[in-house]
Copies of this chain bind each other. A is one copy, B any other.
Amino acid sequence: MRWTLPPERVPDAWFNVVPHLPTPLQPPLHPATKEPVGPDDLAPLFPMALIAQEVSAEPWIDVPGEVLDVLRLWRPTPLVRARRLEQALGTPARIYYKDESVSPAGSHKPNTAVPQAFFNKAEGVTRLTTETGAGQWGSALAFATQVFGLECKVYMVRASYHQKPYRRVLMELWGASVVPSPVDDEQHPGSLGSAISDAVRDAATRDDSHYSLGSVLNHVLLHQTVIGLEAKEQLTAAGEDRPDVVIASCGGGSNLGGISLPFVPDEGVRVMAVEPSSCATLTSGRFDYDFGDVAGMTPLLPMYTLGHDFIPPPIHAGGLRYHGDAPIICNLVQAGRMEAVAYPQGKVFEAAVQFARTQGAVPAPETSHAICAVIDEALLAKEEGAERVILFNYSGHGLLDLQAYDDFLNGRLDAST
C-alpha cells in the first residue's frame, strides 16, 4: 500500500526545530578565537540566505517557488506500508516508510542540494565545491547545480573514486568535475574529513566559489524537514493518529533530522537514531566542541564526537562514516528526547536482504541500518503483543551498492565490524 500526494502538497515552508529544542543550541565557535562565529566568518563559504537560516529561530521558513518547482520533479515522495515485511515478521506493528529513493540521485540528499544551489545562485555565486565519500551527496549537488546552471567541483575520497566509479559517472553525467582527494597526496586513500578540507580550501580561495555541505549544519537539516512534513500528512491519510516511533539511520544527521524533527514537538512519539557500531558517535562518543574536518579548518561544533582525526573502518555504509553529528541531533540525544542504537554491518545486511526479499526494493547500506532497528522494534511489538506504528526513512536505494550485497551473500563481508 502506498500513499501519494499531489505536487501542490510539497511543503511550502520548512519546519525549524530550534524553537522546540529542550535546551538552547550552543553556538559554533571560531577555530582560532574560540568565540561564537558570526555571519561574516561564514560569508566566504556560504550565501547570506543560508547563514540566516543557520541561525534562525523562526518556527517556519518559506521555500522559494523556484525551489518548489525543482523538488516537484520527484516530490512528494510516496509513503509506503511494508505489509509483506510485517507478514514475514508476524508482527502486529504497522510499518511505514517514506521513500526518498525516488529522487534523481536516489536519496534524500537533493532536498538540500536544490535550495543550496538556488540560494547561492541568487547571490551571484557561479561555482560550488564540495566533498563526497561514496558519492551520494556529490551526485545530489551535481544534479542541483546542473539545474541552476552552476559549475560544480567535487572532491571525492580517493579510495571510492577508484573503487566505485558509477557515482563518479553520475556526477559527470550531470556536468560536475570530479577529482580524487586528498589532492596533494596521490598515494593517500583519503577520508571524508580530508575531502572537506580540500573543498573548503578551494572555495575559500576563489571569489566565484562557495562551499556546500550535505549534512550536519542546521540549514541542511531544515531543508530535509519536507520529508517529515509530508509523512505526517500521509500518515493521517493512512488512518494513523501518530507514529509510536520514528527511526532513521544517522551519519551526519540529515535524513534522521528530515523525517524526525517535525515530530519532536509531538507527545508520545519516540525518535530513534541508528548508527554503525564501527562509527558509533552518539552511543559511544563524548559530547564536546570539535572540528568538522580533519585539518581543523571548520568552526568548532557542539556535538558528540569520536575525535576529528578518527578514521572509521571501511564499512559499506560510507555515508555513516563521520566522526561527529549534527549539533541539533546531539542536542536532542543529550536532552533525552532522542534515542540512539548501534548495529554491526553483518546484522544490518541480514536486515537489508530480508527487506529486499519481502518488499522487493533494494535498500542502501546506510538505509539498512534503519531497517535493522525497525525489525527489532517490530519483533519487540510482537513479543509484547502490542499494536505499534513504526515510521522510518527509506533514505536511499542500494542499486549502486550491489558489490556490498555480493560480498555479504558470498561471505566476504566483515560482519562483526
Q: Hey, which chain B residues are within 8 Å of A175, CB to CB?
A: 357
A403 and B362 CA atoms in complex are apart in Å by: 20
Given contacts A4-B6, A74-B360, A104-B359, 5 further A-B contacts (CB under 8 A): A2-B74, A104-B362, A166-B403, A173-B409, A400-B402
Within 8 Å by CB of A400, from B1, B73, B103, B399, lies: B399
A89 in the interface (beta carbon within 8 A): no
Question: Which residues of A line the B interface, CB within 8 A?
Answer: 1-2, 4, 6-7, 72-74, 84, 102-106, 143, 146-147, 165-166, 169-170, 172-175, 353, 356-357, 359-362, 399-400, 402-403, 405-406, 409
Give the top 4 A-B pairs by smallest Cβ distance, nearest first. Answer: A104-B360, A4-B4, A169-B402, A169-B406
Given contacts A360-B73, A362-B173, contact A399 B399 (CB under 8 A): yes
Q: Hey, which chain B residues are within 8 Å of A103, CB to CB?
A: 360
Q: Check if B104 sits within 8 Å of A361, measured CB to CB.
A: yes
Please give the distance in Å from A102's CB to the nearest CB on chain B. Answer: 7
Q: Check if B357 sits within 8 Å of A165, measured CB to CB.
A: no
Q: Hey, which chain B residues are within 8 Å of A4, CB to CB?
A: 4, 6
Q: Check if A174 sits within 8 Å of B2, measured CB to CB.
A: no
Within 8 Å by CB of A356, from B74, B165, B173, B405, lies: B173
Within 8 Å by CB of A360, from B2, B147, B360, B403, lies: B147
A105 and B103 CA atoms in complex are apart in Å by: 16
Q: Check if B360 sits within 8 Å of A399, measured CB to CB.
A: no
Q: Hey, which chain B residues are within 8 Å of A400, CB to CB?
A: 399, 402
Q: Check if A399 sits within 8 Å of B74, measured CB to CB.
A: no
Within 8 Å by CB of A362, from B170, B362, B405, lies: B170
Q: Hey, which chain B residues are within 8 Å of A165, CB to CB?
A: 402-403, 406
Q: Hey, which chain B residues are within 8 Å of A106, CB to CB?
A: 399
Q: Check if A409 sits within 8 Å of B172, measured CB to CB.
A: yes
A42 and B353 CA atoms in complex are apart in Å by: 36
A55 and B338 CA atoms in complex are apart in Å by: 60
A265 and B403 CA atoms in complex are apart in Å by: 46
Q: Hey, which chain B residues are within 8 Å of A147, CB to CB?
A: 360
- 23 A-B pairs (CB sep. < 8 Å): A2-B72, A2-B74, A4-B4, A73-B84, A73-B359, A102-B102, A104-B359, A104-B360, A104-B361, A106-B399, A143-B360, A147-B360, A165-B402, A166-B399, A169-B402, A170-B362, A170-B402, A172-B409, A173-B353, A173-B356, A173-B402, A173-B409, A400-B402
Within 8 Å by CB of A402, from B73, B84, B166, lies: B166
